[in-house]
Amino acid sequence: MPLSNEKKKVSTQTFRLDLINSSLGGILEVGFGTFAILIAIRFLGAPDMIKAVLASGVSAGLLLVPHMQRLAVWTELSASRFCASLMLICSLLLFASGYLSHVWLLAAALFLAQVCFSQLPGFMIQVYSRNYGSKERGKRLSWNFIVSALIGMILSYVGGSYLDGQSADPGLIFRIMGIVSLASALALFLIPSQPIKKGKHTQGLIDSLDLLKEDRVFASMLLAWMIMGLGIIMTLPLRIEYLGGESGLHLTNEQIALVTVVVFSIARILSSRLWGELFDRVRFLSYRISLNLLLISATLVYFNAESIIPRIF
């Protein structure tokens, strides 16, 4: 069914603003996923517990999504404006991180900032489902991935080069991330959306598990996804440690940014349109299984290569 003029207007407005938000989100992903751990290792000499805290912020945030849904219902804010509020909090935490020198306080601030940032996908799904037509969601979102990867790729290389300088101030990275988060909050605030309504499964984490009893296919997929996700998440801090540590490849900050962000961003840009098209055409289970197989293969190659060259080619 063709979209009405009003629907097209909302879809176009959402796409443009979300493209800006995704671009900014690409910067934050790089900051949280690469530079936070890199700074903790190279500049602060952080113990393993700190590295684990920094790597677990997004995962902890995802566990809190059902409770944040309840909070969103209580505030009666629209989905996008609730996300904007979270990004405003994230911005304040990042600004604070830029001036903190105590490693545990810095880790706590960055952990909470990641928790706020990780809520966005769960809430924006509702916005996409209402504002985009069923035949255009994959294509629209694929552009978000491409742009965020491109922006993240460029700025990660710049950030890595900056941190290699003798007078580098790691706090500047977090302050810039704070500005980016504030701009993201503004873009989200302007995206049209509806308030989140209380439903059967918005009571909390435990009540949401009733879905697993009602849909066994979903339960099986979620179990496989959880196991796969656990394995991938466990390798995140190890990737930086392996590349920069004395027992690993001992690369410079610029080279670490090149490997962890630039190379992966190039692959993301080249493949996002393909995955967007497949999302609109292929059964979701087959789609997800294909992604998992590629993730497993990439992880095996990553930790078995003995130099930087195989990681690029």
Give Cβ neighbours of residue 204 (< 8 Å, ≥ 6 apart).
66, 67, 70
Structure tokens at 253: 């900050």
Closest Cα partner for 34 from 169, 226, 170?
170
Give one DSSP letter per residue of 90-135, joined into a string.
HHHHHHHHTT--SHHHHHHHHHHHHHHHTTHHHHHHHHHHHHS-TT
Mean pLDDT of 277-302: 79
> Structure pTM?
0.76
Q: What is the mean pLDDT of the chain?
A: 81
Per the model's pLDDT, the better-predicted residue between 20 and 140 turns out to be 20
Predicted local distance difference test score (pLDDT) of residue 313: 44
CA distances from 193 to 55, 143, 237, 249 (A): 31, 20, 36, 47
Over residues 173-232, the pLDDT tens digits come to 999 999 999 999 999 999 998 887 765 544 555 666 666 677 777 777 777 777 777 777
Per the model's pLDDT, the better-predicted residue between 230 and 83 turns out to be 83
Give the other-Cβ count within 10 Å of 225's Cβ.
13
Per the model's pLDDT, the better-predicted residue between 200 and 168 turns out to be 168
Assess contact for 85 and 202: CB atoms under 8 A: no
Assess contact for 237 and 51: CB atoms under 8 A: yes
Structure tokens at 76: 């009666």
Predicted local distance difference test score (pLDDT) of residue 187: 95
Longest Cα separation, the chain: 60
Show the domains of the chain with their CATH numbers: 5-199+217-312 (1.20.1250.20)
Helix (H) or strand (E) holding 232: helix 216-244
Give Cβ neighbours of residue 108 (< 8 Å, ≥ 6 apart).
53
Share above pLDDT 70 across residues of the chain, in percent, rounded to a whole number: 88
